Structure 1
Amino acid sequence: MFNIGCHLSVSKGLFRMGKDALSIGANTFQCFLRNPRGGAAKKLDLADGLALKQLMDENGFAPIVVHAPYTLNACAKDERLRDFAFETILDDISRMALLPGNLYNFHPGSHVGQGIGKGIELIIDLLNRVLETGPEPTLLLETMSGSGSEVGSRFEELKAILDGCGNHPKTGVCLDTCHVWSAGYDVVNRLDDVLEEFDSVIGLKHLHAIHLNDSLMPFGSHKDRHATIGEGTIGIDAITRIINHPVLKNLPFCLETPNELPGHAEEIALLKSLYRD
């Protein structure tokens, strides 16, 4: 089954997100549970969460992805910022108890001049503290483009973090197509090689979700600029190969493209026409 969705706004409520997903032909989605640029989070309505769960069960939804706010930095130099990251993750995953069996995605962080090694060490420390609480969702490290002092643009960096957490069964990776392309992994001309490298370094068993995005920037640019499907430097032919690749095709795919609901509906319809069961 093709599991495809997009990023939706939680401001309308959880159940409404599920209805919006169905209205555009989606059977999964991604959302924030709080302001993506801040720390504020509204109280979740239990009845609303249960209604969404029932809707998802009745319509065969794939796992959904909750995205951590962009301001979260697990390897910040300032201890107060790391504490904010820890507390925010704990709060988000406690809210996700309403919707068991789903995924929590976050950017590993920026080491802000401390060096990759120190950044990885701090991320491992924070993740291990979270894992000690027994999280319900699986925690996913997102592949990054390598802009500035970002951690996580190389598969080896993600492996080091997962290894530092004992390859805990509640940890994994979300692969962003725009980010890996910008980081220098050629998913256009060498998709099989990239996936073989991922498997050799990290292990495909740790890959749980795909952010399906085209890119405004050229290969290896280390810049994170998403484009709508087929309108960027990755292109529709490569994206068709990605969604049909045997090791990827059954994962949940979430669009993070610059579109509103009608545009996402068009993208989803296009991708469904290109997907081979």
Structure 2
Amino acid sequence: MKIGCHISVGKGLEHAARRAVELGAESFQVFTKNPRGLKPKKLDREDAAKGVAVMQEHEITLVCHTPYITNLSTPKPDLQEVTIRSILEDLNIAEAYGAVGAVVHCGKHVGEGEEYGTRRMVETLDLILEQYDGPVKLLLENTAGQGSELGLTIPSLMEIRGATRYPEKIGFCFDTCHSFAAGQWSLETFEQLVEQMKSSGYLEHLVAIHFNDSKAPFASQKDRHEKIGKGEIGSEALAKFLTADSFEHLPVVLETPVDDEQEYAEEIVYLHQLRQAGQLS
């Protein structure tokens, strides 16, 4: 298991990779571009190569995250076209960065209904993936269920992946806060969650975990991240992910709220302590 955190790539990938080393991160996540925009980003390949070299030297795993504002289910042709172009760019940036995957949020049906939204999402995914043959997987992230979000449950995510023409190019990123807020797991139902992941086939395509506590209560359908042990999920429940054999091979990335990235150093130490305590008990 490689425990890490989200890091700014504003000063380049090499700087972000060295920052990860300073923070004690064994994995980290960066945005491919401005998370609130779809403006194309000029890729600095020299910086990317230097960043990859640092990660290889320290055996650090990178996960990329696409902008929040993309909507794979948009009914508007012009927005669908922009989304396709943007995510293709994200995949190519992630490839240059040596990332294991590029996380994308599931679509929002924006009032058109779940059936339409799912169908449109599959169509958009196909239009993206028919144009990309690189090694980076597009990682569908489970949602909290805010508004008209799709992809709350493991079966629905497997259904979306299975409906595309390119399932082999799609993996998953599991967010602990989102799933808790969607009413999909808690301390009492952790084992059932893992069993569902296994029996559905989801687990074999799981590439990364977003590790967050939740400010919002169970089944609130509100996406509000909190520091580990400070929220509604709690350390005892979250520690189960750190000690479960099913997740041993994965990067576990903190996206908890911080005023300064240096705060992640302490939280990473805390996660290692939780993991060690769980293994000894």
TM-score range, shorter chain: over 0.9
Q: Which residue in 2 is equivalent to 1:266?
A: 266
Q: Does 1:74 align with 2:72?
A: yes
Q: Which runs of 4+ in 1 moved over 4 A?
A: none
Q: After superposition, where does 1:1-277 map in structure 2 within 5 Å?
A: 2-62=1-61, 64-100=62-98, 102-133=100-131, 134-166=133-165, 168-259=167-258, 260-276=260-276
How much has 1:202 moved relative to structure 2?
Answer: 4.2
Displacement of 1:171 in angstroms is 0.7
In 1: Cα distance, 2:247 partner to 2:63 partner: 16
Deviation string 1:117-139 (CA, Å, 9 cap, x unpaired) is 11111111111122212133111
> Would you say the 8 A contact 2:142–2:151 is kept in 1?
yes
For residues 158-214 of structure 1, the C-alpha deviation after alignment (integer angstroms, 9 at most, x for no partner) is 111111125622211111000000111123221110111222334310111100000
Read off the aligned partner of 2:229 and give its amino acid letter: G
2-structure distance, mates of 1:108, 1:25: 31
Superposed CA offset, 1:16-40 (max 9, x none): 0001111110021111121111122
Equivalent pair of 2:180/2:219 in contact (CA under 8 Å): yes
Given that residues 75 and 120 in structure 2 are in contact (C-alpha distance below 8 angstroms), is that contact kept between their aligned partners in structure 1? Answer: no
Q: Secondary structure at the match of 1:275?
A: helix
One-letter amino acid matched to 1:113: G
CA separation of 1:249/1:206 partners in 2, compared to 1, >3 Å: closer, same or farther? same
Q: How far apart, in 2, do the equivalents of 1:102 and 1:166 lie?
A: 21
Partner SS, residue 162 of structure 2: helix
Return the alpha-carbon distance in structure 1 between the equivalents of residues 166 and 188 of structure 2. Answer: 30
Tell me the SS of whatever aligns to 2:52.
helix
Contact 2:101 2:138 in 1 (8 A): yes
Matches of 2:117 and 2:201, distance apart in 1: 18
Q: 1:124 and 1:202 mapped to 2: Cα distance?
A: 19
Give yes or no for contact 2:161–2:167 (8 Å, CA) kept in 1.
Answer: yes
- Please give the alpha-carbon distance, in whole angstroms, between the structure 1 residues aligned to 2:9 and 2:273: 28
- 1:177–1:210 Cα contact (<8 Å) kept: yes
The one-letter code matched in structure 1 to 2:114 is I
CA distance in 2, matches of 1:80, 1:118: 17
Instruction: Specify the code of the residue in structure 1 equivalent to 2:11.
Output: K
**CA RMSD across the alignment:** 1.5
Q: Percent identity?
A: 37
* SS at 2:249 equivalent: coil
Would the alpha carbon gap of residues 166 and 204 (structure 1) be closer, same or farther in structure 2, given more than 3 Å must change? farther
In structure 2, C-alpha distance between the alignment counterparts of 1:105 and 1:78, rounded to whole Å: 22
Letter in 2 for 1:253: V
In structure 2, do the counterparts of structure 1 residues 131 and 42 end up closer, same or farther at CA, with 3 Å as the change threshold?
closer
Letter in 2 for 1:77: P
Q: Distance in 2 between matches of 1:209 and 1:33?
A: 16
